[in-house]
Homo-oligomer: A and B are copies of this chain.
Amino acid sequence: MNISISRISQLRGRNVVFFSKFSLLQFIGLAIVMQFILSGEKLNTWIQINIGWGLAITFCVYSCSKTSGGHFNPAVSFAMFTLGRLSAKDLVIYCVVQTIGAFIGAIGAFGIYYDQFVKYAGDVRTIVGPHATAACFCSFPASHLSNLTCFFDQVAGTGLLVFFVCVIIDKRNGIPGAAHPFLFGFVLIMIGTCMGMNLGYPINPARDLGPRFFALFIYGSEVFTYHNYYFWIPVIAPIVGAVLAAWSYQLFIGAHIPDHNNKAHILDEAKIPLNDV
């Protein structure tokens, strides 16, 4: 019983940490995008967004690795749930916390760069047009993109993320645990260089939906109705991509690694195994 109490308090601790950590990630990430857009693409370039987001993931995962694990992405959490590594209850808690955290991070970034919003766009707050700023918060596809393309784009982008995360954390691939968060960041940089053109690689339901709720207060309901109710695509498609990728890894790679106890520690515990440094 003592143990279960300590476990509860530990879980609660986890969530507190988690919550603040996810706000932090979003605060950093949205500030990166704002620096790109609000400086007229002068102070950040695309590669800088890639590097910035990559490092934000790296350091946020480092800071969580010993407390709540590396869960920053509901799509990844859901994939872990389908693999039996996460309970349904934890999954729900994680998704809610991640989305609220993203909402709070959006408030912070908006606060820090409020003066720049005013300078860049005056009082105008629009989704498209010459001084559009809504893309500071969440993704909006250009008009020449079909929602079908958007869907597959998000499946592919999140698929790449989850597949390579599986590669990195599979202990049998022999990558030292302390290097995992660093490599996660580089995976994100890579995705930004190849899957960024259509939507800017949200590939994370919470990262897109949380700030979209915040944007609702600024830009109105169009943030949800825009482009034929596009908003659900970066929520659902990443989950599809994550599940496909996690199971592909198991079938195509995990099952073929020719050593040791084959099924024991695939994606072991779904947390970053920093312990084995």
Contacts and interface: CB of A to CB of B under 8 A. Distances in A.
Interface of A: 10, 13-14, 16-17, 20, 24, 27-29, 31-32, 34-35, 38-39, 42-52, 55-56, 58-59, 62-67, 108, 111-116, 118-119, 142, 144-146, 149, 152-153, 156, 160, 163-164, 167-168, 172-179, 182-183, 186-187, 189-190, 193-198, 248, 252-253, 255-259, 274-275, 277
Given A44-B193, A115-B145, A275 B59 contact: no
Given A198-B113, A198-B115, A259-B66, A46 B47 contact: no
Given A149-B115, A174-B275, A256-B14, A194 B31 contact: yes
Nearest to A195: B31
11 contacts: A10-B258, A17-B256, A31-B194, A35-B194, A35-B197, A47-B48, A50-B51, A111-B152, A112-B156, A112-B198, A174-B277
B197 A164 contact: no
Interface centre among A13, A38, A112, A116 (most CB of B within 10 A): A112
A189 B50 CA distance: 12
Across chains A and B, which 3 residue pairs bring their CB atoms closest together, nearest first?
A52-B193, A55-B190, A31-B194
A179 to B, nearest CB: 7
Contacts of A173: 62-63, 65-66, 274
B190 A52 contact: yes
Contacts of A153: 112
B46 A46 contact: no
Given A17-B252, A113-B198, A253-B67, A43 B46 contact: yes
Given A13-B255, A56-B190, A114-B149, 17 more contacts: A32-B193, A35-B197, A42-B46, A45-B46, A52-B193, A59-B190, A63-B167, A63-B173, A63-B253, A66-B258, A66-B259, A108-B156, A112-B153, A112-B195, A113-B198, A174-B277, A182-B183
Contacts of A55: 186-187, 189-190, 193
